[in-house]
Chain A
Amino acid sequence: MKIHVLQALGLGRRTGVHPPARKLTRARAIEHMPLPSKVILPLQQHIGACAKAVVKRGDEVKVGQVIAESDGFVSAPIHATISGTVKQITTIASPITGQPVLAIIIESDGKDEWIELTPADPQNLSNEQILTRIQNAGIVGMGGAAFPTHVKLKPPPQKHIHTVIVNGAECEPYITADDRLMLEETDRIIAGIKIAMQVLSVTTAHIAIEDNKPRAIERIRRALAQLSPPGRITVVAVPSRYPMGAEKTLVKSILHVEVPEGGLPMDVGAVVQNVATLAAVSDAVTLGKPLVERVVTVAGMVSESKNLLARFGTAASSLIELCGELDTSVDQVIFGGPMMGIAQPSYDSPIIKGTNCVLLKRSDFRDEHSCIRCGRCIDSCPMGLMPLMFVNYDKKREYEALPHYHIANCVECGACAYNCPAYIPLVSYIKNGKTELRKRGIK
């Protein structure tokens, strides 16, 4: 009630922005793409420590074989995604950071030979065994951030977890990979949810889906109704408002509490997992299958946008070739959505675990003007920040002032820059500010 009164007075916060959805591929079924002749597998496809190569040049590998082992708990192993020969171990530009990263290049033998998989019934596995299977399968968050999943599913014992929030929001424009997965692989997702609930020993799960995906909502509701016994899994239609799929925004929408500043959803008893991640968890635990492929939406300035099931390491150009004519004016390849995606230096950048979209577009550079203090960035910030202040202090190199405006809270969703009439690249300023603070050791 209090919230409603405040909102009527314009004092409550209705944050976020409304970019055009442009979900052109929502009706296109997932298409299995042909096996690539070679894959490029960066050893860092996740947040945390870089994996260590355990194969050498000339080695024969099978699909699902570990080619790089995780180094530490917050890390994930990398598997061969095609069968063939290790051709080279070299540095490439990372699709995440653009910085040099080691990558293993495998040439296909065209046989698609898999390692032997060991299926299991999750009911008969201990939590420890389940987590090990997830860790060994190399599963990381597939919504984009790529945080190792086994870490998220093993919160410290002092945290009381009561809810699994399943992230099917898919709030970025263009992307329909999760939407299609929810329609076509509903059972795998639900199996994954049950495993996550089992490991975390919780009885409640909420599947959050933006209300612009009525078919997915309907499909999952129907599947849940047939569950026996009916578990406490519910579908929650959340408003289509970017960045709904950001963890903290989602927690607030579903549980009506805010994650404490500097904290994680587990501090309020929730673990958030993306739908594609949970489908992979199901494969890993029940089939023993490592994570080697994902659904990627190819969209933008191609004549035939598609949802493709692609092996990791496949060059973006191979996906684009399957999507008809590429507009001649395209000069940007974005991995991820238009709001938070990363511009790639090459058409041959490899698809990795967090790549949910390959977006082809024309660059649209605009000169930055002076801030006119319109306050749109403040109104749109989902984290309740004053983004323009970060720009002000960045320009003056007064980085010590940034923490006073809670810069660490920024999730870099880009809502502020989307709305800026002066075309100020606020996210770049904020990232720069964070880097400068790190250099100075200021938190």
Chain B
Amino acid sequence: MDKVSKLVLSPAPHLRGNASINRDMYIVTLALLSPCAGAVYFFGLYVLLMLAVGVLCTVLTEYAAKLMRRQPFHMDGSAIVTGILLVLVMPPRTPLWIIAVGAVFCIAIAKEAFGGLGHNIFNPALAGRAFVTLSFAGALTRWIAPVSSLVADGVTAATPLSEGFITALTNGVPYKALFLGNVAGSVGETSALLILIGGAILLAFGLIKWQVPVFYIGTVFFLSWIMGQDPLFHILAGGLMLGAFFMATDYVTSPLTTRGKIIFAVGAGILVVVIRVLGTMPEGVCYSILLMNAVTPLIDRYVRPKPYGHMPTTRKGA
């Protein structure tokens, strides 16, 4: 054969599926558009400004961090996801500078300082949220009721969870409002319906395992029920839905195996109820996931798939 072109040697496999980090991240971004739209609808155009600042700051911080670490910057979409998630767990009238500070913390401290995508121990968005909550507690307690007009100023109101279970009971629990999202709360957490739509997208593309949200939400449901609370109220109010579909499912900070993921989800569910019912804070989703993030390496050490043909007697070492 007179062909002289050089042949390229490469290791098998020579064929790849369509999975890529970019594809994963942009599907998550697509799924997040649903709760984002709800946030703008319920809390006004200011949310758009919050989203813009959040995403811009996370992406720029990642770019700067990569420059400083002399590593190539990949626009893989993970910073965008972090930026959006951070904004979605913020109160409606959060000053933009607080969002900027949170976004920088998310990427610079929670992600890049640990080694970048794939190496962080804590979910960056939740770490950022916890950081700003602890740092600027005063500025972050101004909850407002949803507005009918897209631009009008809100009326200060209590979130269903901070209002407490007793008040909710006496006034009758507004299940429908909680499900649709027409209540006070963090901008992206109020509408269970819109989060479920986003979650359905993630499930349809096979990005998340159904076991995570089901066991997480299920644990909260049954445990709050056992503890004499209103289980439906507990799963609809607060950040549980968003956390269950978009944060407890984070690849990097949750266990590798399906069994590990179930342990993670059940553990987080127990923590949510413990914090909400026995603790002093009204909401526990953020800390429940962060605490389980810390346990993830331990879960991965002990929960492993059973190797093909493995006999218990031939077990060797760790």
Contact = CB atoms under 8 A, between A and B. Distances in A.
Q: Do A and B bind each other?
A: yes
Interface of A: 9-11, 13, 17, 19, 98, 173, 248, 252, 258-263, 315, 317, 320-321, 326, 330-334, 336, 338-348, 359, 361, 363-366, 369-376, 378-379, 381-386, 388, 401, 403-406, 409, 412, 414, 417-423, 425, 427-428, 431
A345 B7 CA distance: 6
Contacts of B13: 338-340, 414, 417-418, 427
A113 to B, nearest CB: 28
B257 A375 contact: yes
Interface string B18-30: 0111011000000
Interface in B117-144: 117-119
Interface string B300-318: 0000111111110010111
Contacts of A10: 209-211, 258
B193 interface: no
B276 interface: no
Given A332-B7, A371-B118, A406-B310, A340 B12 contact: yes
B309 A343 contact: no
A376 B24 CA distance: 12
Contacts of A338: 12-15
B6 A331 contact: yes
Residue in A363, A369, A379, A383 with the greatest tally of chain B CB atoms within 10 Å:
A369
B117 A372 contact: yes
A363 B256 contact: no
B7 A370 contact: no
Contacts of A340: 12-13
B22 to A, nearest CB: 8
A406 B307 contact: yes
B74 interface: yes
Contacts of A364: 14, 16
Given A261-B310, A370-B119, 17 more contacts: A9-B211, A19-B15, A248-B308, A248-B309, A260-B311, A261-B314, A341-B14, A342-B12, A343-B7, A347-B7, A372-B117, A376-B19, A412-B12, A414-B12, A418-B16, A422-B21, A427-B11
B270 interface: no
B8 interface: yes
A347 B305 CA distance: 42
A383 B309 CA distance: 8
B15 A369 contact: no
A364 B316 CA distance: 39
Nearest to A362: B8
B308 A372 contact: no
B17 interface: yes
A423 B15 CA distance: 11
B118 A347 contact: no
A369 to B, nearest CB: 6
B73 interface: no
Nearest to A421: B19
Interface of B: 1, 3, 5-17, 19-21, 23-24, 74, 76, 115-119, 209-211, 251-252, 256-259, 304-311, 314, 316-318
B1 A361 contact: no
A426 to B, nearest CB: 9
Contacts of A252: 308
A300 B308 CA distance: 33
Secondary structure of the A contact surface, majority rule: loop
Contacts of B211: 9-10
Nearest to A259: B309
A7 B202 CA distance: 20
Contacts of B7: 331-333, 343-347
Given A343-B8, A345-B9, A376-B19, A11 B258 contact: yes
Contacts of B252: 372-373
Contacts of A326: 3
Contacts of B259: 11
B10 A332 contact: yes
A386 B256 CA distance: 9
A242 to B, nearest CB: 10
Contacts of B14: 332, 334, 338-339, 341, 343, 359, 361, 364
A427 B8 CA distance: 18
A373 B297 CA distance: 12
B311 A261 contact: yes
Contacts of A383: 307-308
Contacts of B257: 375, 378, 386
Contact of B310 (A173, A339, A363, A384): A384
B267 to A, nearest CB: 17
Contacts of A343: 7-12, 14
A402 to B, nearest CB: 11
A408 to B, nearest CB: 10
A437 B115 CA distance: 28
A409 B3 CA distance: 41
A248 B310 CA distance: 13
Contacts of A345: 7, 9
Contacts of B9: 98, 343, 345
Contact of B15 (A259, A339, A347, A365): A339
A385 B309 CA distance: 11
Contacts of A260: 309, 311, 314
Given A331-B6, A343-B14, A363-B8, A372 B305 contact: no
A19 B23 CA distance: 18
Nearest to B71: A370
B262 to A, nearest CB: 8
12 contacts: A19-B17, A248-B309, A259-B308, A261-B314, A341-B14, A343-B9, A348-B1, A372-B21, A373-B118, A427-B11, A427-B12, A428-B11
A173 B17 CA distance: 13
Contacts of A386: 256-257, 304-305
Nearest to A385: B307
Contact of A332 (B8, B16, B19): B8
A315 B20 CA distance: 37
Contact of B251 (A331, A374, A385): A374
9 cross-chain pairs, A with B, having the tightest CB-CB distances, nearest first: A414-B13, A317-B1, A370-B118, A338-B15, A363-B8, A421-B19, A258-B309, A261-B309, A383-B308
A388 B209 CA distance: 19
Contacts of A425: 11
Given A421-B19, A421-B24, A331 B8 contact: yes
Contacts of A418: 13, 15-17
Contact of B316 (A263, A341, A366, A404): A404
B85 to A, nearest CB: 16
Contact of A409 (B11, B16, B209, B309): B309
Contacts of A385: 305, 307
A374 B19 CA distance: 11
Given A10-B211, A332-B7, A370 B310 contact: no
